[in-house]
A and B are shown apart, each in its own frame.
Chain A
Amino acid sequence: MIKKLLLSAAIALVGTAAASDVKVGMITTLSGGGAGLGIDVRDGFMLAITQAGRSDIEVIIEDDQRKPDIAVQLSDKMIQSERVDVMTGIIWSNLAMAVVPASTAQGVFYLSPNAGPSALAGRGCHENYFNVAWQNDALHEAAGAYANQASFEKSFILAPNYPAGKDALTGYKRLFDGDLAGEIYTKLGQTDYAAEIAQIRASGADSVFFFLPGGMGISFLKQYAASGVDIPLVGPAFSFDQGILGAVGDAALGVVNTSQWNKDIDNPTNAAFVASFTETYGRLPSLYASQGFDTANLLISAIDVAHPDDADAFRAALMAADFDSTRGDFAFGSNRHPVQNIYAREVVKEGDLVTNRILSVTLENHGDVYAADCTR
């Protein structure tokens, strides 16, 4: 009996000690294909936590290997065994679909630093799910808007044959006013685009929109540059982040891509972020790193107001988005997805370094079309 009392007292002590701390579970891709993105998100996130000097925020980091079943297992572990308050980190939409609904249903807050599938922005939205990056369509819509501004009239569009690829082409078509010279779905993971490039050449298009993330984009850009086809390319930033540009080299020069962030966005937060990230990790930050950094700063700003245990207050504090974003102005729409500027960037050479430079603001304070369907 006495033993039992002591035990419960100990548990109570641990309980009160832990109550002031916030436990954050980060599940992201650190090994296997696509690990570069997860590493950038993690490094950006941890940079913000370290800079804030917050010892009351405990971050548990796990690697999902880009496998949905591993991600689900890790999220079960974090919720059931580590009892985290907030989760974050997932890169890929398919993993987000596997983890986010189950996590929010168990009362945990989820802050997405990257994936923004439409299913979670519309009818499937949840009051505890916040996206700090973008709804998946945003950059593609901006590419469509840019094509109008550049007065392109006939686009050839291509993307891999999987849901995010279809969303990309839908997003482009949503704002693009011209006609389509062709529309192709390629095989996911395809590395040879000779056949598609031949079709582009034969199509008579005046512009090409492509969404080919990761290694697919590298292959496409190199082969496109070698093919002699000189129709201008437009794409979302995913094929032009710093890690990819290093592998593509000069083949990407001059290509216009759309992004919500770039290292030359002119505000003090961003300048300090770029400098400290470069100094700490010895490489330039990518947009993923900026998203990780913003996610952590949003979290810190909300924790300063309320502990996640006080869910309503914490949620309101997140919604206020009272933090200095690397993107400048940042606000949440009614479905807790960003309302932000999207820029057109051009790939340029600075000395020996191939990187991006901002051309113009393509869409101002842009939200997403799914917000109307979100009633929670």
Chain B
Amino acid sequence: MSPILIIEQLLNGLQFGVMLFLMAAGLTLIFGVMGLINLAHGSLYMVGAFAAAAVAAATGSFFLALAASLAAAAAAGVVIEVFVIRRLYRAAHLDQVLATFALILIFAEGARWVFGSFPLYFDVPPMLSGPIMLPGGVQYPLYRLALIGVGLAVGCGLWWLTARTRIGIQIRAGANDREMIAALGVDISRLYTVVFALGAALAGFAGALVGAIQSVEVGMGDPVLIMAFVVVVIGGIGSIKGAFIGAILVGLTDRLGGIFLPEVFKLFMEPGAATQTGSALASMAIYILMGVVLVWRPSGLFGARA
């Protein structure tokens, strides 16, 4: 285990964490403000990736593709908010689970219907491709470094939006007391649409950014959705800060666990068995982390209420 390898893995964990944050931020906002559990958030991630791949194929421009992912996911968000989600704010969580589960089925098969069953081609732009030499002799893909930068920037932007702007005040107020801000004359239904579209756009953006280095295919949102849930549970529902710290924790645990657990087991087991036991445990590591956090703080690290 050289120090260079460890630094590289830390960067990988960080990069994965900030992408999870983009997903988790939307989930936690939507839940915090509207009290809605949205299983279809992973579908919006997929919508973003598919839109980006389609636009990149048509225009050849990576940045147009990113813009398309934001627009398409936000538009999909508005459509489902207006036609489905809006009717569910007062409904039980159970109805929300079922309706958004139905949306997953519709989005997944719809995407397959439109784009076919084969994965789509979508790649990083030439100016961001290839590795870069960091101080200390660490060679690291430039694109991943850019992802970390973008993730941190979005995080700062969200913090500024919620802490410093008028709409941010409304969002925070909406999370605390819905009736009151409606009584103060804020158009609550428009606020909800905006928040939902924002969350959707973040998910779609993450899908497009990650889609460039992974495969763009139906069902790509499911595993990310569940990890984002873990992040939200750890960070505390409704808290952007919690989502950020939770996401980094989960990202680091997942990446470092996959590398170091097998090494740890090799200290007292024969290598083949150690690799297998280590990998099996590593695949459960983030859930164990979640369990530990729950025992310690049932409403998450920064959750106001359970």
Consider the complex of A and B and state whether they touch directly, i.e. have CB atoms less than 8 Å apart: yes
User: Which A positions have Cβ atoms within 8 angstroms of B?
Assistant: 31-33, 35-36, 39, 161, 183-187, 189, 191-192, 194-195, 198-199, 201-202, 214-216, 218-219, 222-223, 226-228, 243-244, 246-251
Q: By the criterion CB–CB under 8 Å, are A35 and B120 in contact?
A: no
Q: By the criterion CB–CB under 8 Å, are B119 and A218 in contact?
A: yes
Majority secondary structure, A binding face: helix
Which stretch from B27-35, B197-205, B214-222 is at the chain A interface? B214-222
Q: By the criterion CB–CB under 8 Å, are B141 and A227 in contact?
A: yes
Chain B CB within 10 Å, residue with most, of A35, A189, A191, A216 = A191
Which stretch from B72-80, B178-186, B230-238, B272-280 is at the chain A interface? B272-280
Q: By the criterion CB–CB under 8 Å, are A243 and B121 in contact?
A: no
Task: Report chain B residues within 8 Å CB of A192.
Answer: 12, 16, 213-214
Task: Report chain A residues within 8 Å CB of B223.
Answer: 189, 191
- Lowest 7 CB-CB distances: which A-B pairs, in order? A228-B131, A218-B215, A215-B215, A35-B117, A247-B119, A219-B214, A194-B12
Min CB–CB distance A20 → chain B (angstroms): 36
* Cα–Cα distance between A97 and B254 once the two chains are bound (Å): 32
Q: By the criterion CB–CB under 8 Å, are B139 and A201 in contact?
A: yes
Residue in B16, B213, B217 whose beta carbon sits within 8 Å of that of A223 in the complex: B213
Q: By the criterion CB–CB under 8 Å, are A185 and B118 in contact?
A: no
User: Which B positions have Cβ atoms within 8 angstroms of A?
Assistant: 2, 4-5, 8-9, 12, 15-16, 108-109, 112, 117-121, 123-124, 129-131, 139, 141, 143-144, 210, 212-220, 223, 255, 258-259, 262, 271-272, 275-276, 279-280, 282-283
Task: Report chain A residues within 8 Å CB of B121.
Answer: 246-249
Min CB–CB distance B269 → chain A (angstroms): 14
Task: Report chain A residues within 8 Å CB of B210.
Answer: 191
Known: A194-B144, A201-B139. A185 touches B214 (CB 8 A): no
Chain A CB within 10 Å, residue with most, of B131, B141, B220, B280 = B141
Q: Whose C-beta in chain B lies nearest to the C-beta of A219?
A: B214
Q: By the criterion CB–CB under 8 Å, are A244 and B119 in contact?
A: yes
Q: By the criterion CB–CB under 8 Å, are B214 and A161 in contact?
A: no
Task: Report chain B residues within 8 Å CB of A189.
Answer: 223
Task: Report chain A residues within 8 Å CB of B275.
Answer: 183-185
Min CB–CB distance A68 → chain B (angstroms): 17
Min CB–CB distance B78 → chain A (angstroms): 28
Task: Report chain A residues within 8 Å CB of B118.
Answer: 36, 243, 246-247
Q: By the criterion CB–CB under 8 Å, are B220 and A215 in contact?
A: yes
Min CB–CB distance A163 → chain B (angstroms): 12
Q: By the criterion CB–CB under 8 Å, are B9 and A187 in contact?
A: no
Chain A CB within 10 Å, residue with most, of B9, B121, B129, B275 = B121
Min CB–CB distance B128 → chain A (angstroms): 9
* Cα–Cα distance between A219 and B108 once the two chains are bound (Å): 20
30 inter-chain pairs at a CB distance below 8 angstroms, sorted by A residue, are A32-B219, A184-B275, A187-B258, A191-B220, A191-B223, A192-B213, A194-B15, A194-B255, A198-B12, A202-B2, A215-B217, A216-B215, A222-B123, A222-B213, A222-B215, A223-B141, A223-B214, A226-B130, A226-B213, A227-B131, A227-B141, A228-B141, A244-B119, A246-B118, A247-B215, A247-B216, A248-B121, A249-B121, A249-B123, A251-B123
Task: Report chain A residues within 8 Å CB of B129.
Answer: 226
Known contacts A191-B214, A226-B143; can you find 12 more A-B pairs with CB under 8 A? A31-B112, A161-B279, A183-B275, A184-B275, A189-B223, A194-B16, A195-B12, A214-B119, A215-B217, A222-B123, A226-B124, A247-B217
Min CB–CB distance A168 → chain B (angstroms): 14
Q: By the criterion CB–CB under 8 Å, are A228 and B214 in contact?
A: no
Task: Report chain B residues within 8 Å CB of A35.
Answer: 112, 117
Task: Report chain B residues within 8 Å CB of A246.
Answer: 118-119, 121
Min CB–CB distance B45 → chain A (angstroms): 12
Task: Report chain A residues within 8 Å CB of B282.
Answer: 187
Q: By the criterion CB–CB under 8 Å, are B279 and A185 in contact?
A: yes
